[in-house]
Amino acid sequence: MIGKRSIDRVKYIFSGDPAIDRDSPALDWKKYTLTGDPKHAPVKEGCTATVFDLKRLSLVQFNHIMSLEGARQTREAIAYGVAGISNWGGTFTVGTKQSDLGLRLDDRTLEDMFAIPEGIELFGELGLRIITLNKLDPTSGQE
């Protein structure tokens, strides 16, 4: 049966987050990316991971992003696909703006995210995750 796709948001932790407990036997990044279950991405005691709230794209947003290439595609996927960020250190605030395609992160927020030492890796990983989240996944629901 064909039905409406899930519009549930996905909580995501960047693989380079220093709060991830890389020594934990529970760490299984493949399972984490397949299931989104945080038990597979344990956090060090006393630490808090930065969590990205990823949303599903509209058809217009998805088509726009898929018409782009390289860094522009990644930037736009993040701009439209990140709905919020929690536990980012310092005085970081998430800014948004309205565009013809809908609500998106503003340029200052994107620049601040990219300015961290792991900015290139963060953008690559988040962009790919958002695009993958919006594509057909024949393994969805399988472990």
pLDDT tens-place string over residues 27-84: 999 999 888 888 999 999 999 999 999 999 999 999 999 999 999 999 999 999 999 9
Tokens in use for 25? 């036997």
Residue 141 has pLDDT above 50, yes or no: no
| All structural domains of the chain with their residue ranges | 10-133
Residue type, 78: I
What pTM was computed for the model?
0.87
* Phi, psi of 109, rounded to the nearest 5 degrees: -65, -45
Q: What is the DSSP letter of 32?
A: H
CB neighbour burial string for 68-95, b if at least 16 within 10 angstroms, e if fewer: eeeeebbbbbbbbbbbebeeeeeeeebe
